Chains A and B, each alone.
Chain A
């Protein structure tokens, strides 16, 4: 398997549930990212991990909790979400420090909070 894989593709959860999104990259990259894509809004960078260390958190509410156990896997743990958190959550990876290395994206998890 190649590229960036995200699971599940679709998720419906209530506001009191706890769920996790998973991302796996098979590209040998050293950085991973979570982006949020909401309707009619630009992509919002949520978290950045370089070599498993979180290097950026863009004022994301604590109900979103990322985890990066190794450079190939990234999780986003969700709890007590709000309906406005419904969006497409995109994971990406890249090789930081490499010239001409773009971000590679997964197909996203479509999250609906009811």
Chain B
């Protein structure tokens, strides 16, 4: 079945450092890919998405490119802030608007 694998956390960075969180997926068809973020005490919020190969999703300085050849959707940010500290989830769906399959989440901690 479909699955998503993320790099293990926690990831600890200093403010203004470069961030990469790796995400790879397994799917039978052509999924849409998402990154969600969860701040402490809150639910999940959509961060960015991409629906087809070579699409780049971006939001709030974060970017991820849908790479079909490597089945990857790595999350990047050029300069992280303390306020970016959260848990990040990579996810996919094969049904438009349907259920999501999530990775295990990667906790990011940014120190001043």
Contacts of B96 in A (CB 8 A): 96-101
* Binding-face segment, A11-19, A42-50, A68-76: A42-50
Q: Which B residue sits closest to A90, measured CB to CB?
A: B43
Pick from A45, A97, A108: contact of B43, CB under 8 Å: A108
Q: Cβ of B27 < 8 Å from any Cβ of A?
A: no
Contacts of B44 in A (CB 8 A): 90, 92, 103, 105
Q: Please measure, in the bound complex, the distance between the C-alpha atom of A107 and the C-alpha atom of B40, giving whole angstroms.
A: 10
Q: Which among A43, A94, A97 has the greatest number of chain B C-beta atoms within 10 A?
A: A43
Pick from A42, A98, A108: contact of B97, CB under 8 Å: A98
Q: Cβ of B51 < 8 Å from any Cβ of A?
A: yes
* Known contacts A102-B49, A105-B43, A107-B43; A43/B97 CB under 8 A: no
Q: Which B residue sits closest to A29, measured CB to CB?
A: B97
* Known contacts A42-B104, A102-B34; A31/B97 CB under 8 A: yes
Pick from A41, A45, A99, A102: contact of B104, CB under 8 Å: A41
Q: Which A residue sits closest to B98, measured CB to CB?
A: A96
- What does the 1/0 interface line of B78-112 toward A look like (CB < 8 Å)? 00000000000100000111111111110000000
- What does the 1/0 interface line of B17-52 toward A look like (CB < 8 Å)? 000000000000000101010000111111001010
**Do A97 and B97 have beta carbons less than 8 Å apart?**
yes
Q: Cβ of A95 < 8 Å from any Cβ of B?
A: yes
**Do B43 and A106 have beta carbons less than 8 Å apart?**
yes
Q: Which 10 A-B pairs have the closest CB atoms?
A: A101-B97, A105-B43, A42-B104, A43-B102, A107-B43, A105-B44, A96-B97, A98-B97, A94-B97, A102-B46
